[in-house]
Structure 1
């Protein structure tokens, strides 16, 4: 933006996020658990719209977390070129160190580490920048790991008592790129989706994008939109052309009154 300011060039920015994934108390757990893991661990969490904050109702939290742990334990971390691999390495050593630094902050913040948190020790992971899929429970929504984009396989589980509380905490972020709602009741899910201050909301899904639908963020997640008609408009200028088709100029106007002819 600074580089473009001198000549007033328009910019379109997609600046990442801290997307909130809200599970309602009537959600299909088997679907929601798989969806929550896919939302955070796809591409090792190196996705701008990754579902890094998972909001669970107190009534479901224990069972939901246990199911996630059981499934995460079966994930294979290793060579990304192998078909059976679920999670590969991070992009660089610098990013690996940054993610591990956030994990250490999570450990000292009062959150409970329930899975992962380190570097895989298998021989297959010896030469890459790997980080174990990591899950924290009892995360404070104001804490660093819940507010800053980690860009790695680190999930923050935040428990809530009411849907209103979940929505409030979900919106309590400088970001607003993605969000999700899991429920068997479409009307209830839509009601929550409307309240989320975020550019994209998935219902019983995550990561799926269409070239026909706009994608972009609220707040510090960016400016403008990609895809769809809105994305095309980012590369156009609006012009207004006025044609006198009814002979307005043949009638007396304010100009003729102020500056009489002759």
Structure 2
């Protein structure tokens, strides 16, 4: 995490610059639209109650990592999975907000909203499975060797390709390390440097229509698919900046 701090700071700076240049472009929101779109927050729970659910989830999921880092066996052996921790945290949160009578209603509503996301994730998982079972990694390595490109570039390139295929940063990194990990290390790249370059490479074009992040961000901003696609190049500029900085620092300077 600390090794990726400098690329992240550079990405933040570029994000501010790009956003400043684009703030006058696109469909502007009028004052009337802003007033009509205002939401009545009087029925919303206070922050103290609303934060209970995420706080419970974070605490339970952090028990095992904290135990592993601190050497406490009792905590390290506490095995939990987000599959059941998140629903438990949600129920605890609803109880804290005094919504115990609406647990079934809210649960059903949440499941309905997650259906499309689950289907997208299944599709991304299928793509990941096909790639891992193919010889794509071998072909990419041969292509780099044939082109005479430095083997250092294999790390960010693998992150870019896998994240673009799955439209997910996390899935792309997992797939890249699983398919290209040994080849990257065989090129003489240090494990820490490889991890940073793969991770930053995976942020270049990870927000594509076959991933859930694309649609979640589009829905949150009430954007059409065309409008959301128009954001992808600017996201690539930010991600590309982080990938370039990480490659220069960890691939050539250190």
Q: TM-score range by the shorter chain?
A: under 0.3
- Under a length normalisation based on structure 1, what TM-score does the superposition of the two structures give? 0.24
Q: Decide which structure has greater strand share.
A: 1
Answer 1 or 2: which has greater helix percent: 2
TM-score (normalised: structure 2): 0.25
Bigger Cα Rg: 1
